[in-house]
Structures are given as C-alpha cells and as structure tokens.
C-alpha cells in the first residue's frame, strides 16, 4: 500500500529555514540538503515505518529518519493511509519543546 505524504505547515517552515540557513554559505549545498530531506520523506509513502522510534517520545507513534545533521520527524496515520511530516530539526536542537508546540 502506498501512503500519501502530508507536510505540516511547521515542517514546511522548518524546511525553508534549513534552506535559508545553509544558503547563506552555499546555495548549491542548501538545495542538495533540502532535496535529500524531501527524497527521504517521499520514501515514507512506501515505507511508513522507516526510521527509528523517537527516544524522547517512545510511547507515541513518532519516528525519525536522520539525513545528515537533520532529523525528519514523522508519524503514520494508518486510518487515512497517510504519513504526516511533523518537523525537520537540526540534530543538536532540543526536541520536546519543539514538538510540544506543534
């Protein structure tokens, strides 16, 4: 079964911020990094359980795929055959306060 990928507004804002931050030094590397992140998200359509359970939220359905220095946070909604991309966060950032606000 193929799932639909839905990016939340905060996750799209995260992706734009990643691009803008990296593009200050290298627009080419910024483009490549955001492409790698979106490609990883696209793979979730066929493999919604890809990645590992978030250690910070082991009791919830959140998972992460690590792409370079970034964590693509997602969760499957099997009732609607979709995967929600919740956040794209630099690995050095503290995750719980970020997700609590989403």
Give DSSP secondary structure letters for the chain. -PPEEEE-HHHHHHHHHHHHHHHTT-HHHHHHHHHHHHHHHHHTTT-TT-SEE-GGGTTSSEEEEEETTEEEEEEEEGGGTEEEEEEEEETTS-HHHHHHT-
pLDDT at 69: 95
Whole-model pTM: value is 0.88
Q: Provide the residue range defining the domain that includes 95.
A: 4-100
CATH of the domain at 24: 3.30.2310.20
> What average pLDDT does the chain have?
91
Q: What is the chain's pLDDT, residue by residue, as a tens digit (102 residues)? A: 889 999 999 999 999 999 999 999 999 999 999 999 999 999 999 999 999 998 877 788 899 999 999 999 999 998 899 999 999 999 888 776 666 666
* pLDDT tens string 52-68: 998 877 788 899 999 99
User: Structurally, how many domains does the chain consist of?
Assistant: 1
């Amino acid at each position: 079964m193929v799932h639909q990928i839905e990016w939340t507004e905060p996750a799209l804002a995260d992706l734009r911020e990643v691009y803008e931050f990296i593009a200050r030094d290298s627009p080419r590397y910024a483009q490549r990094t955001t492409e790698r992140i979106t490609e990883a998200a696209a793979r979730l359509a066929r493999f919604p359980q890809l990645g590992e359970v978030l250690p910070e939220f082991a009791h919830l359905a959140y998972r992460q795929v690590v792409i370079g220095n970034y964590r693509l946070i997602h969760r499957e909604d099997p009732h609607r055959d979709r995967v929600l991309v919740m956040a794209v966060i630099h690995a050095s950032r503290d995750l719980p306060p970020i997700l609590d606000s989403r």
